[in-house]
Structure 1
Amino acid sequence: MVRELSHFVGGKLTAGTSGRFGDVFDPSTGEVQARVPLASSDEVRAAIDLAVVGQQIWGDMNPQARARVLTRFLALVERDRDDLARLLSSEHGKTFDDAKGDIQRGVEVVEFAVGAPHLLKGEYTSGAGRGIDVYSMRQPLGVVAGITPFNFPAMIPLWQAGPALACGNAFVLKPSERDPSVPLRLAELFTEAGLPDGVFSVVNGDKEAVDALLFDDRIQAVGFVGSTPIAHYIHTTAADQGKRSQCFGGAKNHMIVMPDADLDQAADALIGAGYGSAGERCMAISVAVPVGQETADALAAKLMERARALTVGPALEPGMDYGPLVTAAAVERVSGYIAQAIDQGAELLLDGRGLVVPGHENGFYLGPTLFDRVTTDMTIYREEVFGPVLIIARADDYEAALAMASDHEYGNGVSIFTRDGDTARDFAARVQVGMVGVNVPIPVPIAYHTFGGWKKSMFGDLNQHGPDSFRFYTKTKTVTSRWPSGIREGASFVIPTMS
């Protein structure tokens, strides 16, 4: 039976009225499991109407009271964690354990946001001038919006909503229409935790809903994660409308493997970081860069052995290393990259196309694919594939490997595996990439540091979570205060100074 999904507006599930719907698939079987309404501009504006009202109540609450609501929300997520993970797996296709990790990384940012009473403290200077005090305060922006991708339907909405709500804003979420059920369930849990009606809304939709958020004057800031072309569009459109934005785009993450590295450790790291979640991660390692031909030959052999042993199958079946891709279109797109790489001269070591899982023949599966001797002019090196495809791009020496990662138009994440501290320190200082791992394959910072890439991986000035999130979701007001002592000094026509 095909489920009929809703929006979540004004503290309750709300049926769509546009008459437009999108299909939500079960990637493991290929069957349509639900229909999601695609909001009209009027429906988005109605959600913003209620968000404005709810924000006035929420923003007037003290930070400690808001933190208590977030704390109750965390307890409810813990209560329902397994159910949320199963729901996530059924629509996205990632394994049950991976789905729990998706939820956990979002939870950690909300845990950080519970520290809002401290993080929202301003600054104070007594006696800045004679009888003058200066202080600052952080205040909420008002109503803000998040536009989030299919590949992390719990983590990314919570990365945005946690700090935004803690700062006293109302939050309107437009999640991916491919797997919207977990965001809807999170909205229900926020309401159960005591969030006032309208403060967290979910409007499902496509470009019409996105543009309705971008062009509504009441939306003060927009967060986005997705492809680079759309990140650029949202950033420039938001700027034209006078809105703040933090827009995160594509990635092509390299792992440099030095000759002194533990190659077994490096190979294991590459397999997990390259093929986990079917490669549908913006922080996936998709380019292995072994330094020296001897290192490359040895690493390629180890990767072949490990990749061939991977088990691919239904998302909720125990023992799977990874599950299906999110849609049939995704399988077709990734398969096209594989064919193009072969045509351009890359050496195909392992071909994952045509994988059939018994009993799930219509599922969206693609086996692990491995290329060697990929060069920097090939399409599969230059563009983000977003699938279970790992490429080996050999480097003659350390400087060549450093340049390869630094010169790519994307600058999201990079790793180096080495036993040498001098090399690691030099690499971390010089590489032109926003997030760096040293013997860590997926360098996603913990919640109280900020997450963000460079170059075409990020548009905007402030990163996600950590201290930057509180700067992004608040505006600073600075007050200069003087209480007269009763002595009249007459009018002054000179600009005030601290002398």
Structure 2
Amino acid sequence: MSHRTADGTPDRHGGAATDAREAPAKRVTHWIGGAAVPGASGRQGEVFDPATGAVAARVDLATPAEVDTAVAAAVAAFPAWRDASLTKRTQVLFRFRELMVAHRDELAALISAEHGKVRSDALGEVARGLEVVEFACGIPHLLKGGFSENVSTGVDSFSIRQPLGVVAGITPFNFPAMVPMWMFPVAIACGNAFVLKPSERDPSASLLMASLWRQAGLPDGVFNVVQGDKAAVDRLLEHADVRAVSFVGSTPIARYVYETGTRNGKRVQALGGAKNHMLVLPDADLDLVADAAVSAGFGSAGERCMAISVVLAVDPVGDELVAKIVERMARLTVGPGDDPDADMGPLVTRAHRDKVASYLDTAVTEGAKLVVDGRDTPVKGGASAAETPGFWLGPTLVDHVRPGSAVHRDEIFGPVLSVVRVASYTEGLEIINGTEYGNGTAVFTNDGGAARRFQNEVEVGMVGINVPIPVPMAYYSFGGWKASLFGDTHVHGTEGVHFYTRGKVVTSRWLDPGHGGVNLGFPTNG
């Protein structure tokens, strides 16, 4: 939030470069042309352990020249990979998938150490990313074109989809494995070469995945990683050899990436922020609702673009629902990500934690009731969140929030759940449709007609019916509406395949048939 990236404005991606007081042992480098490459710029950023606040590593920050080197490696690798058979590409993808499964505990540990999310959540992130890898293993079917015989006498016509060339992904801190895996498996399966710019807040997962690609047999240069900040982002957006850019982050930065990339002639999909509402109708099962609200509001410390941050309670369920939510919140354990008993970990940086906490006083000033103050939540083995070293803020509940107030309007991106009391379905729907964002939403009801009406009338890209976090499976596509998406395609699924390829229609006529030799061998691919 108050840390900066891309265009230098506040965002959840991470912090600007800082000068280290003393460099720790671990150094996070780039991955270019199939090998780890130390940065030469001398600029580095700090990577924190969110549970303690200590600097755990230093990450190299790329110069534009180092970005150019990565893009050049991708350019050199692209022709051979483009011409590799679909069978060859699929074999590499299957091996990568098996290696990811074998190393998922190691990957989850890196995520927990640098992001702060608990181990079970980190493993879930890896599992959801692997779904996209598995989807991409079906690329021979996904790239099938169409064929029409005799569109004119002796003339046939058919369509094919071909890779773009070098493509890039710019990804956020909150899912350092899953969001990159929304992008690069599909891009690489389609025959492209890929350059990843991960968040500098938790960069180590990117290097482990790069090494696994190499072990899987992916040719050097097809997958590259440049660590960096605004300088790296801007160079990718302007580089003439980068054909497409996929981005996930906050709305101001998504808009910047989209406008800058398209101005430089690139295909861009830029997924922005969210303020997701859960509409609770009077006939809903309130125990199910309370479970869902706590799970969707406080998982990953609320640092999810699909988190439920606003509950719209239709009269008269508000008081009963709030009581049930408070009861469940009291049973949550806040602790370090590697603690198996912890339900929720810390936030990613101190600046972000302080920004999120500032909304609690703002909410009270605006007339809301602070029912549970996360600053007072005990951290396992220690004092309250406010008094414990590290970037801690416990689950927080704010009731009687006014529509349009800051705590309702802004994407807080932390463990703050707001309850807005509404008189009817219509009032709740109007609040959802009147917000800036249109990423995710949910309705809880036992009335099928009301649910069907909601899915038709709500102006949001991903809708849950009695499902609080409606993240689509890999064979569908992920993306929102309004200020939650810039560009006209969503990530992964069939829209992802179309984003990383371009169509070509061929019309052909052969005047004389050719004659081949006799071969009794069984026909094979390759």
- Same fold per superposition (TM over 0.5): yes
CA displacement, residues 283-340 of structure 1 (integer Å, 9 cap, x when unaligned): 0000001111x20111111111111221101110111111000011111110111121
CA distance in 2, matches of 1:211, 1:356: 42
**What is the aligned partner in structure 2 of residue 299 from structure 1?**
321
- Whole-angstrom CA distance in 1 between matches of 2:184 and 2:103: 19
Equivalence map 1:10-409=2 (5 Å): 10-292=33-315, 294-353=316-375, 355=377, 357=379, 358=381, 361-409=388-436
For residue 446 of structure 1, report the CA deviation from its aligned partner: 0.5
In 2, Cα distance between equivalents of 1:129 and 1:290: 62
- Structure 2 CA distance for aligned equivalents of residues 66 and 470 of structure 1: 15
For the 8 Å contact 2:308–2:469, the answer to whether it is kept is: yes
Q: Does 1:472 align with 2:499?
A: yes
How many correspondences in the alignment?
Answer: 485
Structure 1 residue identity aligned to 2:40? T
State how far apart, in whole Å, the 2-side matches of 1:4 and 1:156 are: 23
Give 1:342 deviation, angstroms. Answer: 1.3
State percent identity of aligned pairs. 55
Tell me the distance in 2 between the aligned counterparts of 1:426 and 1:189.
46
- Alignment partners' CA distance in 2, 1:287 and 1:356: 24
**CA root-mean-square deviation:** 1.2
Paired letter, 1:194: G
Give the Cα–Cα distance (whole angstroms) in 1 for the partners of residues 350 and 25 of structure 2. 18
Q: Which residue of 1 aligns with 2:521?
A: none
**8 Å contact 2:374–2:395 — kept in the other structure?**
yes
Q: CA deviation at 1:485?
A: 7.7
Superposed structure 1 runs of 4+ greater than 6 Å apart: none
- For residues 385-442 of structure 1, the C-alpha deviation after alignment (integer angstroms, 9 at most, x for no partner) is 0000000011100111111111111000000011010001110111100000000010
TM-superposed CA distance for 1:245, in Å, is: 0.7
Shift of 1:354: 5.1
TM-score, normalised with respect to structure 1: 0.96
- The AA in structure 1 aligned to 2:128 is R
Secondary structure (helix, strand or coil) at the match of 2:317 reads helix
Amino acid at match of 2:47: V
3-state DSSP class of the match of 1:250? coil
Once residues 354 and 364 of structure 1 are traced to their aligned partners in structure 2, the CA distance between those partners, rounded to angstroms, is 14
- Say yes or no: does 1:9 pair with 2:32: yes
SS at match of 1:464: coil
Q: Give the SS at the match of 2:108.
A: helix
- Residues 278, 387 of structure 1: 8 Å contact kept: yes
Paired letter, 1:480: T
Mapped partners of 2:25, 2:417: distance in 1: 36
Q: Secondary structure at the match of 1:393?
A: strand
Would the aligned equivalents of 1:2 and 1:32 in 2 still touch at CA under 8 Å? Answer: no
Cα contact 2:197–2:228 (8 A) shared by 1: yes
Contact kept in structure 1, 2:377 and 2:395, CA below 8 Å = no
Partner of 2:14: none
Deviations 1:74-100 (A, max 9, x none): 110111111111111000000000000
Offset, 1:27: 0.5
Q: 2:284 & 2:318 partners in 1: Cα distance? A: 12
Deviation at 1:2, TM superposition (A): 3.4
Q: Is the 8 A contact 1:350 1:371 kept in 2?
A: yes
- Once residues 252 and 20 of structure 1 are traced to their aligned partners in structure 2, the CA distance between those partners, rounded to angstroms, is 35
- Three-state SS of the structure 1 residue aligned to 2:161 is strand
Find the counterpart in structure 1 of residue 7 from structure 2: none
Partner residue, 1:496: none
Q: Give 3-state SS (helix, strand or coil) of 2:375's partner.
A: coil
Report what 1:492 is aligned to. none
Residue matched to 1:495: none
Q: Which amino acid aligns with 1:104?
A: A
SS of alignment partner, residue 152 of structure 1: coil
CA shift, 1:482, in A, is 2.5
SS of the aligned residue for 1:256 comes to strand
CA contact (8 A) 1:355 1:367 kept: yes
Query: Offset at 1:483?
Result: 3.2
Q: Within 2, Cα distance between the matches of 1:177 and 1:335?
A: 23
Secondary structure, counterpart of 2:240 in structure 1: coil
1:157 maps to amino acid = P
Looking at structure 1, the residues matched to 229 and 293 of structure 2 have their Cα atoms a distance apart, in angstroms, of 34
Cα deviation 1:244-273 (Å, max 9, x = unaligned): 011001000011111110000000000000
**SS state at 1:106 partner:** helix
SS of 2:246 mapped into structure 1: strand
Residue deviations 1:78-123 (CA, integer Å, cap 9, x gap): 1111111111100000000000011111100010001000101111
Structure 1, 475-484 or 39-48: larger mean CA deviation? 475-484
Question: Does the residue aligned with 2:468 lie in a helix, a strand or coil?
Answer: coil
Measure the CA separation in 1 of the matches of 2:295 and 2:119. 15
8 A Cα contact 2:302 2:416, kept in partner: yes
Q: Choose the corresponding residue for 1:417, options 435, 440, 444.
A: 444
Q: Which runs of 5+ in 1 are unaligned?
A: 487-499
AA aligned opposite 2:358 = G
